[in-house]
Amino acid sequence: MFSNLKNVKNYTIGFIGLGIMGRPMALNLVKAGWHLLVFDINKDALNTLHRQGATVMNSPAELAAQCEMIISVLPDSPQVLEIAFGLNGLVHGIRPGCIFIDMSTIDVDTIIRIQEKFEKMGVDTLDAPVSGGEVGAEAGTLSVMVGGNRSAFERALPLFQVLGTKISHMGGSGSGQITKSCSQIATALTTQGVVEAFTLAKSAGVDLTKVREALLGGFAQSRALELTGAKMISRDFTPGFKLSLYSKDLRIARSAAAARKLNLPGLELVASEMGSLVRAGSGGLDFSALLQFFENNNNK
C-alpha cells in the first residue's frame, strides 16, 4: 500500500491518452501542480506535455509502476483493454492501493471486466466519463460522472475538481458509463431538434442567426442551441467532438438499451443519421455536421 495517501497532492499521476480531450485535461493537471507521467502513441502530444513539465514514459506498464493514480482517456473499449491488459499494459506494473480511473466513454461490460480483474490485485477502478467537449476540457469545466467505490471516488476527488465543475458519484461500477449514455442521448436529441428547426427556418428564408437569438430567449434555450447552433450557422465543423466518436457513444447507448430490452426510437433515429454521415466520410467533422444529413436529404 502507498504511504502518502493522506496528502493526495503528493501523488504521482499517470495519464494515458492525449487526444482532443486528454491533452487539455492533462495540461490542466500539470498547471495545477500535479506530478504527471504521460504515455501516448502520438509523439507531438507527448512533447507538448513534456515541455509543460510532465514526464514521458515508454509504456503503460512502466507508467503504472510509479503511480498512485492512473487516468486514461481513449477512443473506445478495445484501446482501454489494450492499455490495461496488453503486452505492456498496466496489469504488468500496477501496484496494490492504486486507483485506475478510466475517463473514456466505453461499454459498461468492459469497465466491469477491468474492475473485477484489478480488484483481485488490490486496485480500485473508477469509470468517470466526461461531458463538455474540447471547450470544457480546456477550461476545466467538464461534467464528470463517476461509478465505483465511494472511498476511491473521495480519494480521486481533488483530481476531478481540477478537470471539472460538476462532479457526481453515480453509484457502483458502470454507473458512470450509464450516466454518460444518458447524457449523449439527451444531447443528441437536443441537437436533432436544433437541426430540424434550422432546416425549417432556412427553407422559409428566415435568417438563422436571428432564429437562434430568438430561441435562446425562450424555452428552447439549450447548450446545443447556444454552442452547436453557432457552429452550424458559421459552418465551422472543426471537431470539438468528432462525429465518429459521437456515433460510437450512441452505439454504446444502444447496446445498453438493448441489454435492458428498451425501445428508444429517438436514439435509434439519431444513431442511424450519424452512422450514415460517418460511412460517407464525415466522421472527422464536429458532430454539429449532423446538419449535413438534413441538407443532403432535403437537397439544400
Q: Which residues are catalytic?
A: 180
The phi and psi torsions of 242 (rounded to 5 degrees) equal -70, 145
| Residue 16 contacts residue 36 (beta carbons within 8 Å) | no
Give backbone dihedrals phi and psi of 15, rounded to 5 degrees, phi first. -135, 120
Q: Which of 212, 231, 145, 206 is nearest to 180 (CA)?
A: 145
Cell numbers found for residue 28? 490542466
CA distance 60 to 93: 8
Q: Which residues contact 198 (CB under 8 A, 6 or more apart)?
A: 208, 211, 229, 232, 233, 291
Q: Is the dihedral of CA 85, 169, 185, 288 positive or negative?
A: negative
